[in-house]
Amino acid sequence: MSDRVLIVDFGSQVTQLIARRVRESGVYCEIHPFNKVDAASLAAFRPKGIILSGGPASVTLAESPRAHPAVFEMGVPVLGICYGQQTMCAQLGGQVDEHEHREFGRAFLDVTADCELFHGVWNVGAREQVWMSHGDRVVALPPGFRVVGTSDGAPFAAIADDARRFYGVQFHPEVVHTPHGAQLLRNFTHRVAGCSGDWTMAAFREQEIAKVRAQVGKGRVICGLSGGVDSSVVAALLHEAIGDQLTCVFVDTGFMRAGEADQVVSVFRDRFNIRLVHRDASDLFLAKLAGVTEPERKRKIIGATFIDVFEEEAKAAGGADFLAQGTLYPDVIESVSFIGGPSVTIKSHHNVGGLPERMNMKLVEPLRELFKDEVRALGRELGLPEEMVGRHPFPGPGLAIRIPGQELTRDKLDILRKADAIYLEEIRNAGLYDAIWQAFAVLLPVRTVGVMGDARSYDYACALRAVTSTDGMTADFYPFPHDFLGRVANRIINEVKGINRVTFDITSKPPGTIEWE
């Protein structure tokens, strides 16, 4: 088993970034809520190092969270970040106070002494940019600690106990605004904790294949394939693990982008040789949605129809013992909530939500431990085409929620598909695809008057949307150069019969959402 680091979460907004940085250094880690960590769970997890995250509470309050004492008694290195540093100090005999000199955002740290954490990164006497977010601060060190860095607002901004290999930093090394933060975390995992850094996607692939084989045995697995990154990677991985015990069901709603349905079939059936059921259910979906314009009803009908069709095809394929799902790590991390105690956040993809219970199958979730960018890396490792692996997110209901406020018809879907294809082709040609989180066209329920040649036109307007985001929770519009927008608009109006006007959506999220419905 690879070396492991445990991240004890005190509820910081950026705890996941600690995990990302640790994994980027080739070390497997997990995030556990502070109140689920005790001597038994630590013994079971066997971390080579422990990182205490930041958090919104104040150590100066008696009821605020603490790390389980076993964290400091295991004999493994501990790095406390922000709140993690403060609680470590308070618990080991130091003192933390509220202070009127609060530090938020960019700050500077004066490196006052060498330590393993700074090795090869920061030198004594340097003044280094860091990112701070704290009101409280450490004012007296616990026995055994020495100060190695100071800032204007924090006299003990970085501290070290070399004998016990305990380190504390008031700043956040996990964010990009601490430019050398990733190197400091790497020093902690590699130099201090002695992790070997052998957790790669190649290693994960082997380990996960063995796990799937052990879980599934001779059982049969069914997997819903959508053409998106997650289900594609699940399918490719399972196929490698269990071959023909896997059947993939691709329910073609008719709401996919130009060429995508064909690509799913050609990649998985023809290239990977996966047992694939391809059901073109576009007539059924359109029939069920006849006359429906209200977004929530649309979504519910699509979700329910999807489940019906999927179930039908799964039965026709002979049933299965397991259902494979592309659940990712951010969906399963238990979040620390200070209102009403810790709660579990699980984002249910509406496509498959409710399926496992209804079909009485056990779940296979081989991506449960991965972040999205790791899933992409695994997809590349498995030989999936770059076009599939690097694809923007695409919602389950597809183009159906990009024809807002109007009844869906095949004609409108075709018009939208053409406009969307031109838009994305131009984005790819301009080399902008990877700089954008999601980009798509929306067919508006308005027809407008135009003049084409010498004739009057009366056609649909379409909107172009492109956003940047890191997780889809917040987003900003992508600032295309005007000449790019002009070129796309020109092409769409010239090449897509049925559209005579193009607009660009400059709404951020919040207050907008990414999709229009």
Q: Provide CB contacts within 8 A for 368, sequence distance 6+.
A: 327, 328, 329, 332
CB of 404 to ligand XMP, least distance (A): 11
Check 82, 115, 195, 462 and give the catalytic one. Answer: 82
Q: How far is it, in rounded angstroms, from Cα 210 to Cα 63?
A: 44
Nearer to ligand XMP, 279 or 350 (CB): 350
- In the residue annotation, 174 being an active-site residue is answered as yes
How many residues bind ligand XMP (CB under 6 A)? The answer is 12
Cβ contact 457:451 at 8 Å: yes
CB of 393 to ligand XMP, least distance (A): 4
CB of 46 to ligand XMP, least distance (A): 36
The site map against ligand XMP for 374-393 (x = CB under 6 A) is -------------------x
SS3 195: coil
Nearer to ligand XMP, 199 or 478 (CB): 478
**Of residues 395, 415, 417, 459, which one binds ligand XMP by CB under 6 A?**
395
CB of 311 to ligand XMP, least distance (A): 19
Q: How far is it, in rounded angstroms, from Cα 427 to Cα 414?
A: 20
**Of residues 19, 413, 464, 514, which one binds ligand XMP by CB under 6 A?**
514
SS3 372: helix
Interface segment toward ligand XMP; rule CB under 6 A; list 45-53, 139-147, 411-419, 506-514? 506-514
Nearer to ligand XMP, 68 or 349 (CB): 349
> Is there binding between residue 513 and ligand XMP (CB under 6 A)?
yes
Q: How far is it, in rounded angstroms, from Cα 280 to Cα 2?
A: 44
Nearer to ligand XMP, 241 or 408 (CB): 408
CB of 367 to ligand XMP, least distance (A): 15
CB of 475 to ligand XMP, least distance (A): 7
Q: How far is it, in rounded angstroms, from Cα 214 to Cα 365?
A: 13
Cβ contact 467:429 at 8 Å: no
**Of residues 237, 396, 439, 459, which one binds ligand XMP by CB under 6 A?**
396
Cβ contact 5:49 at 8 Å: yes
Select from 265, 267, 286, 266 the least CA-distant residue to 277.
Answer: 265
């680091």: which residue's tokens?
5
> Is there binding between residue 505 and ligand XMP (CB under 6 A)?
no
Nearer to ligand XMP, 349 or 501 (CB): 349
Interface segment toward ligand XMP; rule CB under 6 A; list 101-109, 268-276, 283-291, 508-516? 508-516
> Is there binding between residue 349 and ligand XMP (CB under 6 A)?
yes
- In the residue annotation, 278 being an active-site residue is answered as no
Q: How far is it, in rounded angstroms, from Cα 191 to Cα 178?
A: 20
SS3 370: coil
DSSP-assigned letters across all residues of 409-471: -HHHHHHHHHHHHHHHHHHHHTT-GGG-SEEEEEEEEEEEEEEETTEEEEEEEEEEEEEE-SS
Nearer to ligand XMP, 149 or 303 (CB): 303
The site map against ligand XMP for 300-339 (x = CB under 6 A) is ----------------------------------------
Q: Taking each helix axis from N to C terminus, what angle separates 482-495 and 410-429, rounded to the nearest 10 degrees?
A: 140
**Of residues 397, 403, 459, 502, which one binds ligand XMP by CB under 6 A?**
397
Dihedral angle computed from the Cα positions of residues 35, 41, 45 and 48, in that order, rounded to the nearest 10 degrees: 70
Strand-pair category, 137-140 with 95-97: antiparallel
The site map against ligand XMP for 439-478 (x = CB under 6 A) is ---------------------------------x------
């090795």: which residue's tokens?
119
Check 174, 260, 313, 374 and give the catalytic one. Answer: 174
429: left (phi over 0), alpha (psi -120 to 50) or beta: alpha
- In the residue annotation, 29 being an active-site residue is answered as no
CB of 432 to ligand XMP, least distance (A): 18
Check 32, 68, 172, 349 and give the catalytic one. Answer: 172
**Of residues 438, 464, 501, 502, which one binds ligand XMP by CB under 6 A?**
438
> Is there binding between residue 177 and ligand XMP (CB under 6 A)?
no
Taking CA 41 as the corner, what is the angle to CA 61 and CA 96, rounded to the nearest 5 degrees? 20
Cβ contact 463:507 at 8 Å: no
Nearer to ligand XMP, 379 or 395 (CB): 395
**Count of Cβ atoms closer than 10 Å to residue 63 Cβ:** 6
Catalytic residues, by residue number, are 82, 172, 174
Q: Would you tell me which residues interact with ligand XMP (CB under 6 A)?
A: 349-350, 393, 395-397, 438, 472, 509, 513-515
